[in-house]
Amino acid sequence: MDGESDLSDVEVRAPSAEVWRGRRVHWQDRATWFGALETWLEREWRSGGKARLQKRKLDLCWDDSDWLVALDRHVQPSIETLIEELADDLANAKLRTFHGCRVPDAGVFHREGLRRNEPAELEALARRLVAEDDDLAWMRPKIEGIIAGFEDRERDTGRLYGSADERPQLDRSGQYLLFGSEWLQCLLGWGAHRALKRYGTPTVVEVDLPFDWASKGTRREFARHLLQEWTRVFVMGETFSPALDFSVILLRDIPAEMVVGHSHPRVLKNPFVQYRTERTANPTCPHCVGSAKA
């Protein structure tokens, strides 16, 4: 019976699996996961394998998968088995996740949480933007036709996107912070970029996400990154924290209690114009102003 085998599995694996229970894992802050992963790995080494790995002289780029090949030689299970087990155990952890967007007041996330893509809501926002911003006056006679003819209307329906590392959003994929929802960008096109950039303030929302809300495939990919980076740092010693381009797609809303903070980047890079630096005119929002006064 499945239930029985699951139970014995839990009993055998419990001591190391427990290191992830309730733990907040933040890729950029190695203190949140490096030691935990070392503890988790303790039962997996071949005899003397850990010491031998540390003495290896490896000259590899941080994202070279040969780090995992090196680890594989010194542990008992195959690396794929380790990744699978870690993906299962990470279901007990929380992943610090970042969501980049533009909003007039980030307080809405602290009050209401984050909602999945809902085309009807975005259509309403598009109508409002076109009605209120004279830069889009030329679009007023045809906005209903644009909405009715939008072939990609369902492109992101029911989805919510997050990232395990905010740095790529500031550096390589700043378009969501500069111009807001990709759905709106696709609907309104390039001609609306200036208006979209005037709406709201670039905002990065921070969420402590129960990692079992992400798919097993997502956890598996993240487990692979963690093991690879752990090996690199274990061999090389303390070094820089590489920016990781890693997306998490959710199929449910995030309640307000999981939103742990937000920030407004002062500087972004525009991927549509050779990563030109763009400064945020007013990197604050009513929620920040209210918190400062309180």
Other beta carbons within 10 angstroms of residue 175's beta carbon come to 19
Which of the stretches 82-90, 122-130, 208-216, 285-293 binds Zn ion when contact is defined by CB under 5 A? 285-293
Binding window for Zn ion (CB under 5 A); candidates: 75-83, 84-92, 98-106, 135-143: 98-106
Q: Is 285 in the site for Zn ion (CB under 5 A)?
A: yes
- The helix or strand, by DSSP H or E, that contains position 161, with its residue range, turns out to be strand 160-163
Return d(Cα 217, Cα 23) in angstroms, integer.
Answer: 20
How is 170-239 classified by DSSP, letter by letter? HHT-THHHHH--HHHHHHH-GGGHHHHHHSSEEEEEEEEEEGGGS-HHHHHHHHHHHHHHHHHHHHH-S-
Q: How far is the CB of 261 from Zn ion (least distance, A)?
A: 9
Q: Is the Cβ of residue 28 or residue 263 nearer to Zn ion in the bound state?
A: 263
CB of 215 to Zn ion, least distance (A): 31
CA dist 22 → 70, 211, 216 (Å): 30, 10, 18
**Residue 273 CB, nearest distance to Zn ion (Å)?**
26
Asked if 66 and 133 count as a contact pair (C-beta separation under 8 A), the reply is no
Q: Does 288 bind Zn ion (CB under 5 A)?
A: yes
Decide if residue 187 touches Zn ion (CB under 5 A). no
Q: Is 205 one of the binding residues for Zn ion (CB under 5 A)? A: no
Measuring CA to CA, which residue among 234, 233, 236, 285 is closest to residue 261? Answer: 285
Which of these ranges, 30-38, 91-99, 102-110, 252-260, lies near Zn ion under the rule CB under 5 A?
102-110
106 lies in the site for Zn ion, by CB under 5 A = yes
Residue recorded with tokens 């780029």: 61
Q: Single out the segment in contact with Zn ion by CB under 5 A; choices: 71-79, 103-111, 163-171, 238-246.
A: 103-111
Pull the structure tokens for residue 72: 């594989």
Instruction: Decide whether 37 or 205 has the Cβ nearer to Zn ion.
Output: 205
Cβ 288 to Zn ion shortest distance, Å: 3
User: How many residues touch Zn ion (CB under 5 A)?
Assistant: 4
Number of C-beta neighbours around residue 54 at 10 A: 12
Residues that bind Zn ion (CB under 5 A): 106, 285, 287-288
